[in-house]
Amino acid sequence: MSTIALRGPARVVVTQHRRALQIMAAIPVLTIAVLVGTWLWTEHVANAFAATGCSVVHTVPSCGETVSDFLDRQLWMPEVLKWSGALMMALPAFVGIFMAGPVIAHELESGTYKVAWSQSMTPARWLAAKLTVPAVVTLSSVSVLSAACAWARTRENSVHQGSDLYSREVYSSVGTVPIGYALCMLALGALAGLVLRRTVAAMVTTLIGYGALVMVLNTVRNGLWPSLTDTFKNGSDYRFPAGAVDTGQGWLTSSGRRLPADACLDWATDLKQCLADKDITLRYLDYHPASHFWPLQLVETGILLALAALAVALAFRVLRRRHG
């Protein structure tokens, strides 16, 4: 990463943490190379299989090994996507740990910040540079990674029909949510480093904070946007909407009162009698359809960015109270 065009604090930050910033910038390039390479290879395998005249649906004995090899290689793309999703889920934690430890807490712990502050650099300007440079690199890298994962999933879905948009590895790797998590953890890591001023303690606290944040948002996510409700008679041929996620289900009485799904669990041998005794007429199902993916993403991203802004404001407040 070149520092020629940078001046002042930003140049110092890039020089100090050049290796880590280069790694962050290189991750999208390597990931895109792997995703594109895997897709090209699976396309080549599919074309080669088509040329054999064998069929997955109507397999003849002579094609058994060919079909087996083809199916094994077609699983490469889903496997790569699974690992890319895991990378996207872990990346915000690494961003936060990097900010909490090497960027902020290590300088405060070792006292090297005094050198910068003695050269006509104010504490506020020092912190602004510490936040801005990693934020720019993080925003660029995670945005490219998210777009690459989204592109790869459209290629994968053309072969394996349907993909659960609301599964954890998909939801956390595409759209705006991974960007929100990365920027939020960057801000929280900086705050932890300023408050604790100990490298290891700040890194551990940031990691615990990331786990707690993910747990809370996973718990409340379904309530971030109004869900839809379908009602149907028990035993009907109702089909769950494709690409949707179940957020709740149960029974409805004739008056519209909701009962839990296990309301007749003890009446398994006489379900009809239970339904009659409790005046149950319908079943209900609450769900988020595939069309709710982006509203949920944007609301959750807004929450994460608000938390990031709050953490940045608190970080500057802590710095001002301790160092003027």
pLDDT at 4: 45
Token digits for 296? 């949920």
Residue 260's contacts (CB-CB under 8 Å, 6 or more residues apart) are 250, 251
SS3 2: coil
* Cβ proximity of 98 and 21 under 8 Å: no
Residue 311's contacts (CB-CB under 8 Å, 6 or more residues apart) are 184, 187, 188, 190, 191
pLDDT at 138: 92
pLDDT at 169: 84
Closest CA to 20 of 116, 126, 98, 74: 98
pLDDT at 49: 77
User: Residue 284 burial by CB count (10 A; 0-12/13-18/19+): exposed, middle or buried?
Assistant: middle
All residue ranges of the chain with pLDDT < 70 are: 1-8, 58-60, 156-163, 267-269, 324
pLDDT tens-place string over residues 268-284: 567 888 888 889 899 99
Order of all β-strands in the sheet with 258-260: 228-232, 280-288, 245-253, 258-260
pLDDT at 161: 41
For residue 135, the one-letter residue type is A
For the chain, the structural domain boundaries read: 8-224+293-323, 228-289
Closest CA to 178 of 277, 31, 4: 31
pLDDT at 309: 96
pLDDT at 164: 80
- Assessment of whether the complete model's pTM goes beyond 0.95: no
The average confidence (pLDDT) of the chain is 86
pLDDT tens-place string over residues 185-233: 999 999 999 999 899 999 999 999 999 999 999 999 999 999 999 999 9
pLDDT at 59: 67
pLDDT at 76: 82
pLDDT at 267: 61
* Cβ proximity of 146 and 181 under 8 Å: no
